[in-house]
């Protein structure tokens, strides 16, 4: 059974990614990039072996899908690190990848779980993976927003002042610009996830958009982030309001992700509930 | 208020006015009758919309409100109202025979807000084309793809919906079938006939379906005659129709000798897909592109 070897590949890959994340914090870019790529190659080796052994792409079960999350999270983390040099992004992506690896290790019975025919599509993995990555980015953006709001409150209470940030200022222009970059990449991935879903729905259900509750909430989330992105283009704006927009948008995103399972208006009518 | 240049409050008032107008229309005219937009009406509406947009763009120097509609101060309230009304839709159970909040797609305020968004998208696209600079392509091309792509997808998906045909065909093993049922349960004759050769069903150990598919002989009015297998997620394209594996006789399960097929025809699909692919390209460029702020006069 190929899954029996998973723990060795996974442990080695996670170790390499942790070294990479540490390297990024210490400003050792070459080390960070090198070990993260090495970890990705180790992990990819397992995925390819699995592909060969199963004689089909490993995309069918939830466990196999998590395998791809675990691979893509550090991969896109690396892209963002290369693009903007955020020190924290590799730690964040490593942590998330490890969570998904642990779920696969501790809930192995899910590997054999059946997958209904409608989910057996090449769109399944990209649709879910890019959404999960977008959620991760938006989660990071929300954490930053909360942090800036609390830090601003703190600086008022304690009269803390720095040269770049006078008392009462929530975040500097540079900080807000970085936050924008994060949200814009998240928005790009949300757009991919939503439109991949539309293209898939056409193949599976005959129509690209049916205002299924999941689709309705995906539209709400997408437009909510568009409000933020457009508001940040105004020549003068209130920082507190823009940070709150990110928090509200993330709450709406939670509704879209899992909240609708508990929503009376969505019961029994969504094609997105697979039990 | 209403002293130029208009800002967000004026934007919200215009959007709020649209909602009030929508409520009045809902009261006086009843829900939006989308079926009335079947071809050629939808084609004429698209032509009028494009013509009006070009006209509004051309008169933007003379008429302030046309100029205002392509600013962030108009776009942000429009987006906030879109979130608000779509949120109402997400919180209210939708019914095909519902009215008002229970059938948002035919609820005038909801429809007008989306029309307003489309209008703004059209105008900002024209404005950006007018100001296009090759030196600014990294900003202007993604902007065009994102805004025009959404405009195209939104307009053609909505107006083209009335031309979409979706019917179900119940195919019995070994029998030639050319009749299908529409949503009103009326029998329609199809230009494509099928003979169900075999219904294939594979199950997991727990009995849940792993795969179900139909082996069919397809005979078309255009003279085609061939064998095909249609799986879930793998529709067959023939003569402008897509044929889907929709269902089977669930009482019989794996022994079913009946296959339910869905036939879908959507002549506007290429335009919607063009919009979707533009948005995908726009999102890709947005991710790899770099952002500059506060360079736009508003």
Most confident of A80-84, B58-62, B248-252, B254-258: B58-62
Q: Locate the chain A residue with the closest alpha carbon to B207.
A: A114
- Crossing angle of helices B108-130/B137-160, nearest 10°? 150
Of the partner residues A181, A216, A265, the one whose CB lies closest to the CB of residue B291: A181
From chain A, the residues in CB contact with B282 under 8 A are 191
Are the C-beta atoms of B39 and B161 separated by less than 8 Å? no
Of the ranges A100-114, A197-211, B171-185, B280-294, which one carries the lowest mean pLDDT score? A100-114
Instruction: Express as a percent the part of chain A with pLDDT over 90.
Output: 48
Distance separating alpha carbons of residues A4 and A13, to the nearest angstrom: 16
A176 CA: distance to closest CA in chain B (Å)? 11
Query: Is it the case that residue B111 has pLDDT exceeding 80?
Result: yes
Do both B136 and B279 map to the same domain? Answer: yes
Do both B206 and B191 map to the same domain? Answer: yes
pLDDT in tens, B55-64: 999 999 999 9
Calculate mean pLDDT across residues B66-87: 98
From chain A, the residues in CB contact with B206 under 8 A are 114
Calculate mean pLDDT across residues B34-39: 94
Query: Is it the case that residue B79 has pLDDT exceeding 90?
Result: yes
Report residue A9's pLDDT band, with 50, 70 and 90 as the boundaries: very high
Do both B52 and B73 map to the same domain? Answer: yes
Residue B115 lies in a domain: yes
Do both B281 and B257 map to the same domain? Answer: no
Calculate mean pLDDT across residues B280-284: 95
pTM reported for the whole predicted model: 0.88
pLDDT score for A120? 81
A266 CA: distance to closest CA in chain B (Å)? 7
Query: Is it the case that residue A275 has pLDDT exceeding 80?
Result: no
Contacts for B3 with CB less than 8 Å, ≥ 6 apart? none
Q: Do A184 and B91 touch (CB under 8 A)?
A: no
Q: Do B93 and A265 touch (CB under 8 A)?
A: yes
Report residue A111's pLDDT band, with 50, 70 and 90 as the boundaries: low
Residue B294 lies in a domain: no
Contacts for A168 with CB less than 8 Å, ≥ 6 apart? A152, A155, A156
Report residue B51's pLDDT band, with 50, 70 and 90 as the boundaries: very high
Do both B103 and B26 map to the same domain? Answer: yes
Calculate mean pLDDT across residues A38-64: 85
Query: Is it the case that residue A35 has pLDDT exceeding 70?
Result: yes
Do both B18 and B81 map to the same domain? Answer: yes
pLDDT score for A167? 79
Q: Do B90 and A263 touch (CB under 8 A)?
A: yes
From chain A, the residues in CB contact with B87 under 8 A are 220, 252
Q: Tokens in use for A93?
A: 């992506």
Query: Is it the case that residue A155 has pLDDT exceeding 90?
Result: no
Query: Is it the case that residue B188 has pLDDT exceeding 90?
Result: yes
Tally of domains within chain B: 2
Q: When comparing pLDDT for A151 and A19, which is higher?
A: A19
CA separation, residue A198 to residues A69, A122, A194, B193 (Å)? 21, 13, 6, 29
Do both B31 and B109 map to the same domain? Answer: yes
Residue B2 lies in a domain: no
Distance separating alpha carbons of residues A133 and A79, to the nearest angstrom: 12
Q: Tokens in use for A210?
A: 């049916």
Q: Do B80 and A227 touch (CB under 8 A)?
A: yes
pLDDT score for A59? 67
Residue B1 lies in a domain: no
A235 CA: distance to closest CA in chain B (Å)? 6
Q: Locate the chain A residue with the closest alpha carbon to B209.
A: A116
Q: Which of A85, A183, A234, A274 is the best residue to mutate to test the B interface, defined by the most B CB atoms within 10 Å of its own CB?
A: A234
Calculate mean pLDDT across residues A139-151: 88
pLDDT score for B213? 95
Are the C-beta atoms of B201 and B220 separated by less than 8 Å? no
Report residue A257's pLDDT band, with 50, 70 and 90 as the boundaries: confident
Residue B169 lies in a domain: yes
Q: Tokens in use for B107?
A: 């609820």
Q: Locate the chain B residue with the closest alpha carbon to A207.
A: B264
Q: Locate the chain A residue with the closest alpha carbon to B76.
A: A227
Q: Which of B8, B90, B111, B281 is the best residue to mutate to test the A interface, defined by the most A CB atoms within 10 Å of its own CB?
A: B90
ipTM associated with this complex: 0.95
Residue B179 lies in a domain: yes
Residue B295 lies in a domain: no
Of the ranges A69-73, B235-239, B262-266, which one carries the lowest mean pLDDT score? A69-73
Distance separating alpha carbons of residues A12 and A116, to the nearest angstrom: 33
Query: DSSP states of chain B as a string?
Result: --PSSP-HHHHHHHHHHHHHHHHHHHHHH-S--GGGGTTTHHHHHHHHHHHHHHHHHHTTTT-HHHHHTTSHHHHHHHHHHHHHHHHHHHHS---TT--GGGGGGG-HHHHHHHHHHHHHHHHHHHHHHHT--GGGHHHHHHHHHHHHHHHHHHHHHHHHGGG-EEEEEEEEBT-EEEEEE-TT--EEEEEEEEEEEEEEEEE-TTS-EEEEEEEEEEEETTS-EEEEEEETTBPEEETTEEEEEEEE-TTTGGG--EEEEEEEE-TTHHHHHHHHHHHHHHHHHHHHS----S-S--
pLDDT score for B297? 39
Do both B247 and B139 map to the same domain? Answer: no
pLDDT in tens, B210-233: 899 999 999 999 999 999 999 999
Query: Is it the case that residue B47 has pLDDT exceeding 90?
Result: yes
From chain B, the residues in CB contact with A206 under 8 A are 166, 235, 242, 244, 262, 264
Do both B170 and B123 map to the same domain? Answer: no
Do both B191 and B118 map to the same domain? Answer: no
Residue B250 lies in a domain: yes
Distance separating alpha carbons of residues B151 and B129, to the nearest angstrom: 14
Q: Do A203 and B233 touch (CB under 8 A)?
A: yes
Distance separating alpha carbons of residues A219 and A251, to the nearest angstrom: 14
A vs B: CB pairs below 8 A: 128
Report residue B157's pLDDT band, with 50, 70 and 90 as the boundaries: very high
Q: Do A206 and B91 touch (CB under 8 A)?
A: no
Do both B232 and B256 map to the same domain? Answer: yes
Report residue B162's pLDDT band, with 50, 70 and 90 as the boundaries: very high
CA separation, residue A202 to residues A170, B110, B264 (Å)? 45, 24, 10
Q: Locate the chain B residue with the closest alpha carbon to A231.
A: B76
Query: Is it the case that residue A109 has pLDDT exceeding 60?
Result: no
Q: Do B90 and A260 touch (CB under 8 A)?
A: yes
Query: Is it the case that residue A274 has pLDDT exceeding 60?
Result: no
Q: Do B91 and A114 touch (CB under 8 A)?
A: no
Calculate mean pLDDT across residues A64-90: 82
Q: Do A114 and B208 touch (CB under 8 A)?
A: yes
pLDDT score for B298? 38
pLDDT score for B210? 86
Distance separating alpha carbons of residues B222 and B225, to the nearest angstrom: 9
B174 CA: distance to closest CA in chain A (Å)? 25
Of the partner residues A189, A199, A216, the one whose CB lies closest to the CB of residue B276: A199
Backbone angles phi, psi at A240, to 5 degrees: -60, -45
Backbone angles phi, psi at B33, to 5 degrees: -95, 90
Look up the domain containing B81 and give its range.
8-163+269-288
Calculate mean pLDDT across residues A54-66: 72
Q: Tokens in use for B45?
A: 């509406």
Do both B61 and B110 map to the same domain? Answer: yes
Query: Is it the case that residue A62 has pLDDT exceeding 90?
Result: no
Query: DSSP states of A218-232 as a string?
Result: HHHHHHHHHHHHHHT
Q: What is the CATH number for B171?
A: 2.60.98.10
Task: Give the three-state DSSP class for A143.
Answer: helix
Query: Is it the case that residue B122 has pLDDT exceeding 90?
Result: yes
């Amino acid at each position: 059974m190929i899954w029996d070897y998973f723990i060795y590949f996974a442990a080695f890959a996670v170790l390499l990614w942790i070294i990479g994340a540490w390297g990024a914090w210490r400003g050792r870019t070459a080390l960070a990039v090198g070990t993260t790529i090495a970890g990705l190659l180790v992990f990819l080796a397992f995925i390819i072996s699995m592909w060969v052994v199963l004689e089909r792409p490993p995309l069918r079960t939830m466990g196999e899908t998590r395998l791809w999350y675990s691979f893509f999270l550090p991969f896109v983390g690396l892209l963002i690190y290369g693009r903007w040099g955020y020190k924290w992004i590799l730690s964040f992506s490593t942590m998330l990848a490890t969570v998904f690896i642990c779920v696969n290790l501790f809930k192995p019975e899910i590997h054999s779980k059946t997958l209904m025919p409608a989910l057996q599509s090449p769109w399944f993995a990209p649709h879910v993976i890019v959404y999960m990555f977008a959620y991760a980015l938006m989660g990071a953006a929300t954490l930053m927003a909360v942090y800036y709001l609390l830090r601003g409150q703190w600086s008022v209470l304690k009269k803390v002042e720095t040269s770049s940030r006078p008392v009462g200022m929530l975040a500097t222009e540079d900080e807000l610009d970085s936050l924008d970059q994060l949200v814009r990449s998240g928005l790009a991935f949300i757009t991919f996830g939503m439109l991949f879903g539309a293209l898939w729905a056409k193949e599976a259900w005959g129509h690209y958009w049916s205002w299924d509750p999941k689709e309705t909430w995906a539209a709400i989330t997408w437009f909510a982030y568009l409000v933020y992105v457009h508001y940040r283009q105004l020549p003068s704006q209130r920082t507190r309001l823009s940070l709150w927009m990110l928090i509200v948008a993330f709450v709406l995103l939670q509704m879209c992700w899992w909240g609708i399972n508990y929503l009376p208006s969505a019961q029994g009518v969504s094609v997105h509930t697979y039990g | 208020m209403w002293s130029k240049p208009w800002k967000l409050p004026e934007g919200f008032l215009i959007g709020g006015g649209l909602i009030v107008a929508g409520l009045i229309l809902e009261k006086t005219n009843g829900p939006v009758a989308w079926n009335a937009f079947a071809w050629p009406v939808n084609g004429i509406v698209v032509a009028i919309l494009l013509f009006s947009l070009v006209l509004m763009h051309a008169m933007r120097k003379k008429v302030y409100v046309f100029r205002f509609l392509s600013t962030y101060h108009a776009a942000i309230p429009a987006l906030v109202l879109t979130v608000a009304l779509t949120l109402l839709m997400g919180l209210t159970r939708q019914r095909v025979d519902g009215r008002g909040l229970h059938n948002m797609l035919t609820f005038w305020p909801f429809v007008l807000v989306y029309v307003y968004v489309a209008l703004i998208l059209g105008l900002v696209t024209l404005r950006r084309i007018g100001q296009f600079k090759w030196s600014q392509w990294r900003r202007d091309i993604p902007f065009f793809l994102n805004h025009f792509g959404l405009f195209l997808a939104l307009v053609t998906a909505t107006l083209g919906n009335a031309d979409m045909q979706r019917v179900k065909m119940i195919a019995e093993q070994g029998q030639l079938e050319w009749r299908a049922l529409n949503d009103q349960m009326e029998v329609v004759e199809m230009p494509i006939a099928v003979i169900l050769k075999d219904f294939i069903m594979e199950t997991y150990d727990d009995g849940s379906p792993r795969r179900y598919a139909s082996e069919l002989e397809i005979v078309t009015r255009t003279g085609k005659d061939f064998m095909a297998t249609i799986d879930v997620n793998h529709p067959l394209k023939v003569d402008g129709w897509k044929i889907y594996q929709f269902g089977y006789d669930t009482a019989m399960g794996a022994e079913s000798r009946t296959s339910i097929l869905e036939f879908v025809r959507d002549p506007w699909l290429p335009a919607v897909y063009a919009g979707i692919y533009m948005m995908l390209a726009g999102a890709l460029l947005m991710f790899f592109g770099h952002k500059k702020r506060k360079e736009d006069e508003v």
